[in-house]
Structure 1
Amino acid sequence: MSFKTDIEIAREASKRPIQEIGAKLGIDAADLLPYGHDKAKLSQRFIDSVQDRPDGKLILVTAINPTPAGEGKTTTTVGLGDGLNAIGKKAAICIREASLGPCFGMKGGAAGGGYAQVVPMEEMNLHFTGDFHAITSAHNLLSAMIDNHIYWGNALGIDTRRIVWRRVMDMNDRALRQITASLGGVANGFPTEAGFDITVASEVMACLCLARSLKDLQKRLGDIIVAYTRDRAPIHARDIKADGAMTVLLKDAMQPNLVQTLENNPAFVHGGPFANIAHGCNSVIATTTALKLADYVVTEAGFGADLGAEKFMNIKCRKAGIAPSCVVLVATVRAMKMNGGVAKADLGAENVEAVGKGCANLGRHIENVKSFGVPVVVAINHFHGDTEAEIAAVDEFVRGQGSEAILCRHWAEGGKGTEALARRVAEIADHDDANFAPLYPDEMGLFEKMETIAKRIYRADAVIADKKIRDQLHAWEAQGYGNLPVCMAKTQYSFSTDPALRGAPTGHSVPVREVRLSAGAGFVVAICGEIMTMPGLPRSPAAEAIRLNEAGQIEGLF
């Protein structure tokens, strides 16, 4: 059986002018700043004008640990938003923007799939409205101003061995992880060791995604620590006098982007930190604005619930003062089989026993999400080839966990395929039984916060960190940063730090290789295991198949 590709489906979309989409949420055309006919930014004036309205219900979509079999978390987010609108609810979607790194690497885009997509798909997965380029430019402006300050006499006394601000670019390029800069003589400055992260790992990205206004954004940017003096005193971006110009570069990027689903329902697409190396959620300003405009807001958190949902709860909800009324946990029969030990090449054959074994991963995610005090519904994202016996095995397991599973066919049917899920989610959200609470209090020590996540979410026995790292955490606590949440940078493929260890492992430890203080964003990053903040391209990157056809249309994006 042959199926249309995502890009073929997106190309056939019957899109409505973006002003019509905004009107569904009561946004006047004058408050939309159009980027062509099918996308627009929402003005700050309008955002300010709706702050006294009550909030709608927030629904978080998360997933099991990703496998090569595919889970479809963004696809389910879009499908559920369409499903809620299909049953007569006023719903909006909030998702992240796509990074060029995975688009041209291995993972693909971030616009959903099949008949549950956000369009325009090509623009969303490429340059979109230029937000990522603005973030890259603002970040690297700060890098340039640090080097320039040192070149012209270093009045602040920056210790060039203790510059902690790296450069960024929105592409996977392992060759730039660690570099030597300023070679070539006196005119080029002082040779120094440097490196690049991918833009989605930038603290500027995190600042934009957590800021409530331009004023808040500039304060956060100014708070960024870029280096230290010889006596270990911190140097901030505002000391370099970079915060004002950085804010100017981000002025338009700060405004949420409005687009539409294939079924012409509103979707805010804004911000894009990865959940494995950053905090993994779309912008606070997009989510909180959507809550003022819709009765139900469906949002996603990146990768599995051990990363995205944990950071959504412990970082985004804590910082933004919001809480989900219901969590949808996405799983597939195929992924259960892979977690149960089946090779990707053998996924087509029915294997109920492997499904049962693989459900251990799903079960742990259910337990973890429930520990935040929020009700959980499992969405079984249907794939062609799933058998009734395999679906029944997942359903039976989930019921045994005190939750419920609902089969969803949104990839093939759009919103119609999620109407059952939409009804149940709306019922739960309306009943408002959630008793949300973060996993740890602000007052807990930084290392203890890392241990709490590792032990309660990953089920690790211990966190391993040498004395240098522990001393650094104590120093930050002494400087007043001990109340910050922690952002664990860890492989997305496993509860452990070993990407090959699937299922629900126990008896493992979490080695913390490095810690970084993101004083502007307002969290401490713990880099665990072999995770990289600048990914590399796979052996056969997606870029090899991306091209323009004879009609000038893009082929190969997915």
Structure 2
Amino acid sequence: MGFKTDIEIAREAQKRPIQEIGAKLDIPTEHLLPFGHDKAKVSQDFVADARARKRGKLILVTAINPTPAGEGKTTTTVGLGDGLNAIGKRAAICIREASLGPNFGMKGGAAGGGMAQVVPMEDMNLHFTGDFHAITSAHNLLSAMIDNHIYWGNALEIDERRIVWRRVMDMNDRALRDTVVSLGGVSNGFPRQTGFDITVASEVMAILCLAADLDDLQNRLGDIVVAYTREKKAITCRDIGAEGAMTVLLKDAMQPNLVQTLENNPAFVHGGPFANIAHGCNSVVATQTALGLADYVVTEAGFGADLGAEKFFDIKCRKAGLSPSVAVIVATVRAMKMNGGVAKADLGSENVSAVQKGCPNLGRHIENVKGFGVPVVVAINHFHSDTEAEVAAVKAYVAEQGAEAILCRHWAEGSKGVTELATRVAELADAEQSQFAPLYPDEMPLFEKMQTIARRIYRADDVLADDKIRAQLKEWEAAGYGNLPICMAKTQYSFTTDPTRRGAPTGHSVPVREVRLSAGAGFIVAICGEIMTMPGLPRKPAAENIRFNEEGLIEGLF
């Protein structure tokens, strides 16, 4: 195969008409709403029917903390789905949609890699079926209606200093983090300070990904708290009267998108909240639809297990009544070496001692995921520079942790390179050994929930929060929001809030600088350390390399 780029491989894909892919899951043609020949939305009526059927087994793919060396979590999710189909199982994949922000910033694409990809790759990374545009529009309609309400007399007596609903756009743009709006005189309204978040951090995105159907969506949108009066009475989206129009804008976006892998297996790609600043899971609608149609459903949670898996278990599974059968933790020899102190430039040289030194990061994730009562298997995503001794070191370490590590070559070989993992995952799922339970009960006080996550998952000594934050949490508890789970907004690169601290550090604390109520989505966001809800572009953004070539084909999306 050589070393073709992901986009070159995707371009050579032998795609089948989307109706054939739907037929693999018994989705009738009349319930597929095609976007071209290779992608379609699944109708609301069929989704409702599918979700009521017998449930398949849910398999979570998560990972160690990401490093510049690369881990390949989505690649493994896709590879495992193909592998399960290759060994004769009826399997479907559920992943998130890609945000334009990272595509043009650091990442350059989010559809898997090598021979384990979801296609059409270019479309998935650039607008896709328009879901994110609909979410952006719905969110900003509410923003416009809040300012419009104030302009026309402010009958709700909103305190302009206490408007908590910001605007969003699906792009990394640090210049918009803090803005002043309504400058220019009387006709433009009342000037106030606000800002933008990236669309994937919007509460509307979280709501769409957690809502059961259009009625639930509208109800949740109505529950969004957008502002407060001077007496600190909460003002909701329902008070503004925007929830009906927002639901109409989101009608098509609520329908899951069906596409295919390179091996023509079905993949649902729907929703896309960030995992470092939001809850990081694809939609409940897509997951439950897949569970009604397939025997095994492979899904992923964003970034490392300290963020993605924890939120998948404590938010998505709790809210949707899901019970995962198996968790796969993706690791690479290269990432173990980086955790062991090796510079990126030196990763090509064998260094077994560095691998061993870096393995505690993996070990902590294994222990954490097991703590939720879910059986764990480790997938070692193979790189051509890995040596037998390095792979053996990871396998030996994982065995000491009471789990099994399996070498996977899906990037280079597709399903052929991942049949051992697929076989083991199916065995574990069929054994029904999972005793899944969330980390904390609903009734635990909000600050204690934060402490529980920080101590049990991050191994921190405590959560640092000033009196203002603690008082805010108490107010929310008094207002009836005390039973909500916590969504930690934290760096993905470390168990700590310091992105440079790799490995498995102890002796640290978690500073919470701000808390936000997502009453519609049904969680409290705790913003930790220096994490930003509107990312910036790097010094050399990926956008500089994205262009059409002489043949009119897109280049630069990895």
Q: Would the TM-score normalized by the shorter structure come out above 0.5?
A: yes
Q: Secondary structure at the match of 1:162?
A: strand
Distance in 2 between residues matched to 1:6 and 1:49, nearest whole Å: 36
Question: Which residue of structure 2 aligns with residue 169 of structure 1?
Answer: 169
Give the letter aligned to residue 65 of structure 1. N
Give the letter aligned to residue 68 of structure 2. P
Unaligned runs of 5+ in 2: none
Distance in 2 between residues matched to 1:353 and 1:182, nearest whole Å: 59
Distance in 1 between residues matched to 2:509 and 2:50, nearest whole Å: 47
Question: Which residue of structure 2 aligns with residue 93 of structure 1?
Answer: 93
Question: Which residue of structure 1 aligns with residue 83 of structure 2?
Answer: 83
Question: CA offsets per residue over residues 257-277 of structure 1, 9 Å max, x none?
Answer: 000000000000000001100
Give the letter aligned to residue 93 of structure 1. I
After TM superposition, give the deviation of residue 51 of structure 1 in Å: 3.4
Q: Secondary structure at the match of 2:526?
A: strand
Question: Which residue of structure 2 aligns with residue 149 of structure 1?
Answer: 149
Distance in 1 between residues matched to 2:318 and 2:375, nearest whole Å: 18
Question: CA offsets per residue over residues 493-548 of structure 1, 9 Å max, x none?
Answer: 00000000000000000000000000000000000000000000011110010001
Distance in 1 between residues matched to 2:113 and 2:135, nearest whole Å: 27
Deviates more, 1:388-397 or 1:106-115: 106-115
TM-score by length of structure 1 reads: 1.00
Question: Which residue of structure 1 aligns with residue 437 of structure 2?
Answer: 437
Q: Secondary structure at the match of 1:306?
A: coil
Give the letter aligned to residue 200 of structure 2. V
Question: Which residue of structure 1 aligns with residue 264 of structure 2?
Answer: 264
Distance in 1 between residues matched to 2:514 and 2:385, nearest whole Å: 44
After TM superposition, give the deviation of residue 552 of structure 1 in Å: 1.1
Contact 2:51 2:291 in 1 (8 A): no
Distance in 2 between residues matched to 1:12 and 1:107, nearest whole Å: 22
Question: Which residue of structure 2 aligns with residue 3 of structure 1?
Answer: 3
Distance in 1 between residues matched to 2:27 and 2:417, nearest whole Å: 29
Question: Which residue of structure 1 aligns with residue 24 of structure 2?
Answer: 24
Distance in 2 between residues matched to 1:534 and 1:50, nearest whole Å: 36
Pairs within 5 Å for 1:240-319: 240-319=240-319
Question: Which residue of structure 1 aligns with residue 487 of structure 2?
Answer: 487
Contact 2:75 2:411 in 1 (8 A): yes
Pairs within 5 Å for 1:219-234: 219-234=219-234
Distance in 2 between residues matched to 1:523 and 1:52, nearest whole Å: 26
Question: Which residue of structure 2 aligns with residue 239 of structure 1?
Answer: 239
After TM superposition, give the deviation of residue 49 of structure 1 in Å: 1.9
Question: Which residue of structure 2 aligns with residue 462 of structure 1?
Answer: 462
Distance in 1 between residues matched to 2:471 and 2:51, nearest whole Å: 43
Question: Which residue of structure 2 aligns with residue 381 of structure 1?
Answer: 381
Runs (4+) of structure 1 exceeding 6 A deviation are none
TM-score by length of structure 2 reads: 1.00
Question: CA offsets per residue over residues 404-440 of structure 1, 9 Å max, x none?
Answer: 0000000000111110000000000000000000000
Distance in 2 between residues matched to 1:373 and 1:449, nearest whole Å: 19
Distance in 1 between residues matched to 2:294 and 2:50, nearest whole Å: 12
Give the letter aligned to residue 20 of structure 2. E
Contact 2:108 2:556 in 1 (8 A): no
Distance in 2 between residues matched to 1:107 and 1:554, nearest whole Å: 16
Question: Which residue of structure 1 aligns with residue 35 of structure 2?
Answer: 35
Unaligned runs of 5+ in 1: none
After TM superposition, give the deviation of residue 2 of structure 1 in Å: 5.1
After TM superposition, give the deviation of residue 201 of structure 1 in Å: 0.2
Q: Secondary structure at the match of 2:426?
A: helix
Question: CA offsets per residue over residues 474-498 of structure 1, 9 Å max, x none?
Answer: 0000000000000000000000000
Give the letter aligned to residue 474 of structure 1. K
After TM superposition, give the deviation of residue 551 of structure 1 in Å: 1.4
Q: Report the count of equivalent residues.
A: 558
Question: Which residue of structure 1 aligns with residue 184 of structure 2?
Answer: 184
Q: Secondary structure at the match of 1:305?
A: coil
After TM superposition, give the deviation of residue 202 of structure 1 in Å: 0.1
Question: CA offsets per residue over residues 336-356 of structure 1, 9 Å max, x none?
Answer: 000000000000000000000
Question: Which residue of structure 1 aligns with residue 501 of structure 2?
Answer: 501
After TM superposition, give the deviation of residue 177 of structure 1 in Å: 0.2
Question: CA offsets per residue over residues 212-262 of structure 1, 9 Å max, x none?
Answer: 000000000000000000100000001000000000000000000000000
Distance in 1 between residues matched to 2:421 and 2:5, nearest whole Å: 25
Distance in 1 between residues matched to 2:324 and 2:383, nearest whole Å: 28
Q: Secondary structure at the match of 1:172?
A: coil
Q: Secondary structure at the match of 2:374?
A: coil
Question: CA offsets per residue over residues 355-408 of structure 1, 9 Å max, x none?
Answer: 000001000000000000000000000001100000000000000000000000
Measured on the aligned residues, the alpha-carbon RMSD in Å equals 0.7
Q: Aligned pair 1:57/2:57, yes or no? A: yes
Give the letter aligned to residue 367 of structure 2. E
After TM superposition, give the deviation of residue 48 of structure 1 in Å: 1.7
Question: Which residue of structure 1 aligns with residue 102 of structure 2?
Answer: 102
Pairs within 5 Å for 1:389-400: 389-400=389-400
Q: Aligned pair 1:138/2:138, yes or no? A: yes
Give the letter aligned to residue 173 of structure 1. D
Give the letter aligned to residue 68 of structure 1. P
Question: Which residue of structure 2 aligns with residue 527 of structure 1?
Answer: 527
Q: Aligned pair 1:551/2:534, yes or no? A: no
After TM superposition, give the deviation of residue 52 of structure 1 in Å: 3.2
Distance in 2 between residues matched to 1:13 and 1:384, nearest whole Å: 23
